[in-house]
Amino acid sequence: MSYENILVETRGRVGLITLNRPKALNALNDTLVDEISAALDAFEADDGIGAIVVTGSEKAFAAGADIGAMAKFSYMDAYLTDYITRNWERIKTCRKPIIAAVAGYALGGGCEMAMACDVIIAADTAKFGQPEIKLGILPGAGGTQRLPRAVSKAKAMDMCLTARMMDATEAERAGLVSRIVPADKLLDEALAAAETIAGFSLPVVMMIKESVNRAYESGLSEGLLFERRVFHSAFALDDQKEGMAAFVEKRAPQFKHR
């Protein structure tokens, strides 16, 4: 399949999606989000893929939704087309883990896209922000919901209400990103992390993703119950037998379901 706004390739057992609208700092539009959704469908159906990396350019992961395209929108244009968000949750529903590798600007929808992924690895050049208020709108692809869960209410309010940007150090301290790496190592580090994940048992990887997401979306008792049920079900897997036998026999595991 050919895409207009993204580049899609495979590196080992990792699917790589690169946002590719360099002239507009990877500004997001419906076509781009639809293409990401199609690429995720293909990676999810591919047994050779165990994890996915989404990245942008050196200057911008993505500078938000395309302002030029939105400028003349009426309420009906936005509402009837479910602008930007009609395929957004496909990132969340993908059962294989997605790492956002972020360098430069991740603003508005760009920050929201990174937050919709499972892990954010940031280059030391990364800058995160929800500056929609400057345009007379508010974050519309999860910013007001995912940011407080990631960084606390106070910081999310600060970011959304003042439009200030957070640099990589502040973002790591606040818990928005999992690690910071030098900009020239960003893709290698993200691909290496994804390859590590892709080397484990895929059903276990999926169980962990589902369980952590449950923590994110439910209360503690419900989350603990969910985890316990999934934990016990892991004992039905061949890969559990193999993983534990390998430990006991002091050898590397050969997982069957990768």
Catalytic residues: 65, 109, 112, 132
CA dihedral for 222, 197, 111, 124, sign (positive or negative) = positive
Residue 66 makes contact with ligand CAA by CB under 6 A? yes
Residue 129 and residue 122: Cα distance in Å, rounded? 14
Cβ partners under 8 Å of residue 218, min gap 6 = 226
Residue 207 in tokens: 């169980």
Residue 68 makes contact with ligand CAA by CB under 6 A? yes
Q: Which position among 49, 51, 52, 84 is part of the footprint of ligand CAA (CB under 6 A)?
A: 84
The nearer residue to ligand CAA, 70 or 186, going by C-beta atoms, is: 70
- In the sheet that holds 119-123, the strands lie side by side as 6-11, 14-19, 51-55, 98-102, 119-123, 179-181
The nearer residue to ligand CAA, 15 or 109, going by C-beta atoms, is: 109
Residue 29 in tokens: 């539009």
Residue 97 makes contact with ligand CAA by CB under 6 A? no
> x/- binding map, residues 112-131, to ligand CAA, per CB under 6 A?
x------------------x
H-run or E-run covering 248: helix 238-248
Strands 14-19 and 6-11: antiparallel
Smallest gap from Cβ 148 to ligand CAA, in A, equals 15
Residue 27 makes contact with ligand CAA by CB under 6 A? yes
The nearer residue to ligand CAA, 149 or 214, going by C-beta atoms, is: 149
**22, 27, 29, 31: CA torsion to nearest 10:** 20
Q: Which residues, numbered 134-163, are part of the site for ligand CAA (CB under 6 A)? A: 135, 139-141, 143
Residue 63 makes contact with ligand CAA by CB under 6 A? yes
Residue 109 makes contact with ligand CAA by CB under 6 A? yes
Chain contacts with ligand CAA (rule: CB under 6 A): 24-25, 27, 63-68, 84, 105, 107-109, 112, 131-132, 135, 139-141, 143
